[in-house]
Amino acid sequence: MSKLGLRTVAGVLSHALDLPATSSKVFTTIWKDLEARGDLTLPSVIQAVQSWSCHDSVREALTSRLQVLMESGLFDEANPLTEERILHTIEGGGVLVVNLKNQSQIVRRILVEIFLGELTKILSSNWLKAAFLFAEEAHLYLRDTYWDDIVTRMRHIGLFTTFITNQPDTVQEAIYRQADNVFIFNFTNEHDIEAIGKVAKADSDTIRYLVRGIPTRRCLLLGNVVKDLPLMVDVEQLDVRTMGETRLFFS
C-alpha cells in the first residue's frame, strides 16, 4: 500500500469509493502519521482509524471503505506486485493487458483508479518515455476522475489514449473535444449520432447523414488523420476469430 503513495490511495477512496471530503482529510492525516512511523500497511491503517480521535461518522466512512479495499484482495503486503516488476517484464517493449472480466463494478473502479494513478506517476517521472493506452468498453469505467487528468495532460506526459466504446453518448463531451481523431462504425441510435455530431469539427448534419446505416466493415474517419474532411474507408476482414463478434443462432 505504501508503494502506491498517498495520492493514488486517496484517489481510490474519493473517486472509486466516494469517500466524503471531510473523511479524506482525516485519512491524509492518519496516512502521514503512520508513514512517519514506518508502519504503513492496510491493516495498520484500519486499526489506526478505529482508535483515531474523530467523529463517529468519519470513522465509519473510512472503516467501511478500507474494509472494501481489504476484501477486494488487491493488496498483498507480503508479496506486492509493484509497477516496477510489471514494467521490467516489458522493458524492451510489449503489451500489458489489464483484464477486468469477471470483476465486480467496485473492483473495476478501484483497479482503474490505481492503474491510471500509477501510469500518470510513472510517465510524469520520465521513467517511461511514452505509452499507448487502449480503454476497451470505456463506458463501463469512464468517470470524472483520473480520466480528466489524463485527457488534459496526456500530450505533456507522453500518453496516447484510444477510447473504444459502443455507447458514445456516455463519453464526456470534454473527451471528444480533446480527441485528435474519431473512428465511427455502425451507429443507429439517435442519441449516439447526436453525441458524435455535436463534437465533430465537420458539419454536424453531414456527420449525422454519413453515420446512419454504415455497413459492416466500413468506417467513417474524422479528425486530424483526414485533415477534418470526413472519409469513409473499408476495413479488411480478419482471418482470425474475433471474440467480440456477435454469435448468431441462425447463420
| Model confidence pLDDT, tens digit, residues 174-185 | 777 788 888 988
Task: Tell me how far apart the alpha carbons of residues 236 and 216 are, in angstroms, rounded to a whole number.
Answer: 10
Count, in order, helices (H) and strands (E) of the chain. Answer: 10, 5
Whether the per-residue pLDDT at 60 is higher than 90: the answer is: yes
Whether the per-residue pLDDT at 219 is higher than 70: the answer is: yes
C-alpha cell at 55: 467523529
Query: What number is the average pLDDT over the span 197-217?
Result: 76
Residue 61 exposed, middle or buried by CB count within 10 Å (0-12, 13-18, 19+) = buried
In degrees and rounded to multiples of 5, residue 223 shows phi and psi of 110, -160
Task: Tell me how far apart the alpha carbons of residues 34 and 46 are, in angstroms, rounded to a whole number.
Answer: 11
pLDDT, one tens digit per residue, over 87-106 is 777 777 788 888 888 888 88
With bands split at pLDDT 50, 70 and 90, how would you rate the model's confidence at 74? confident
Percent of the chain with pLDDT over 70: 91
| pLDDT number for residue 22 | 94
Map out the domains of the chain as residue ranges.
6-72, 86-165, 168-237
Whether the per-residue pLDDT at 251 is higher than 90: the answer is: no
| pLDDT number for residue 131 | 86
The amino acid at 165: T
| pLDDT number for residue 158 | 87
Let me know the angle formed at the C-alpha of 184 by 232 and 206, rounded to the nearest 5 degrees: 60
Whether the per-residue pLDDT at 17 is higher than 80: the answer is: yes
Quote the radius of gyration of the chain (alpha carbons, Å): 22
The count of other CB atoms within 10 Å of the CB of residue 146 is 22
| pLDDT number for residue 143 | 66
Query: What number is the average pLDDT over the span 75-85?
Result: 72
Q: Where would I find the H helices in 90-238? A: 105-124, 146-157, 173-178, 190-199, 204-211
| pLDDT number for residue 6 | 92
In degrees and rounded to multiples of 5, residue 94 shows phi and psi of 165, -175
What is the chain's mean pLDDT, rounded? 84
| pLDDT number for residue 80 | 67
Whether the per-residue pLDDT at 62 is higher than 80: the answer is: yes
